[in-house]
Amino acid sequence: AQTVTQSQPEMSVQEAETVTLSCTYDTSESDYYLFWYKQPPSRQMILVIRQEAYKQQNATENRFSVNFQKAAKSFSLKISDSQLGDAAMYFCAYRSARTSGSRLTFGEGTQLTVNP
Amino acid sequence: GAGVSQSPRYKVAKRGQDVALRCDPISGHVSLFWYQQALGQGPEFLTYFQNEAQLDKSGLPSDRFFAERPEGSVSTLKIQRTQQEDSAVYLCASSFWDNPLETQYFGPGTRLLVL
């Protein structure tokens, strides 16, 4: 079974600064996808960024980028120019590349606080 | 609709009561997932539907949990004889197709409190 670990229960960052959230995972599969989801206090989970394991290039979405290290099974999220609206719980998630009914396996989450 | 909706948003039940939680996925979405999120934890998979077929129910914690999606759209998660350990947020997610790269769109969740 796959597991996802987020070792930072809480992180804080100053507005406009950069912060990196850590995530490691364990799997015996070679083909899979990794995601970062954001969950604001309203609780609606929103996809931030995704990475296909077969791609060596790290994914980037505006101020959000990842550092994907497949051999180390590490998948960190970097938020640049942090904004107050970035404050939320962030979840790292794994999904098998098999086609049918592939569930998301989530980490425990990292609560991000953005200080003005 | 514009997004995944869930009702009720909050539910308080006395231990032993039955509850039913509803999920309205995005129109036309084939795949539907239910997750359980305990306080301070990440969501955990409960069950998966492709249209009306329940293809995976391996995450359901006990036989008190039952889910259905009879017409391939709205889904209901039913919990019988609720216990305090059932207190959690229940999240529903849908995606257009059964492809692992498809984005799962989440609803706001139903917060269940069992007293």
Q: What is the pLDDT of residues A72-108, one digit of tens each?
A: 999 999 999 999 999 999 999 999 987 667 899 999 9
The answer to whether residue B1 scores a pLDDT higher than 80 is no
Which of B47, B106, B110, B112 should one mutate to test binding to chain A, selecting the residue with the greatest count of A CBs within 10 A?
Answer: B106
Measure the CA–CA gap between B90 and B112, rounded to whole angstroms.
7
For chain A, list residues whose CB is within 8 angstroms of any CB belonging to chain B: 4, 33, 37, 42-47, 50, 52, 91, 93, 95-109
For chain A, counts of helices (H) and of strands (E):
0, 12
Taking 70 as the threshold, does the pLDDT of residue A64 lie above it? yes
CA distance A115 to A99: 42
Q: What is the mean pLDDT of residues A7-20?
A: 97
How does the average pLDDT of chain A come out, rounded? Answer: 94
Chain B interface, Cβ < 8 Å to A: 3, 31, 33, 35, 40-45, 48, 50, 55-56, 59, 89, 91, 93, 98-101, 103-104, 106-109, 111
The yes-or-no verdict on residue A1 having pLDDT over 90 is: no
Q: Using a pLDDT cut of 70, give the percent of chain A over it.
A: 97
Sorting pLDDT into bands at 50, 70 and 90, what band is B2? confident
Q: For B49-78, what is each residue's pLDDT tens digit?
A: 999 999 999 999 999 999 999 999 999 999
Compute the mean pLDDT over every residue in chain B, rounded to the nearest whole number.
Answer: 95
pLDDT band at A116 (very low <50, low <70, confident <90, very high): very high
CB contacts, 8 Å: A45 with chain B: 43, 91, 93, 106
Mean pLDDT lowest among A9-13, B2-6, B17-21, B89-93:
B2-6
For range B3-28, the mean pLDDT? 97
| C-alpha distances in Å from residue B115, one per residue of B12, B15, B39, B80, B111 | 7, 6, 15, 14, 13
What is the C-alpha radius of gyration for chain A, rounded to an integer number of angstroms?
A: 14
Q: Binning pLDDT at 50, 70 and 90, where does residue A42 land?
A: confident
Mean pLDDT of B34-55: 95
Main-chain dihedrals φ then ψ at residue A95, nearest 5 degrees = -145, 130
Q: What is the pLDDT of residue A100?
A: 66
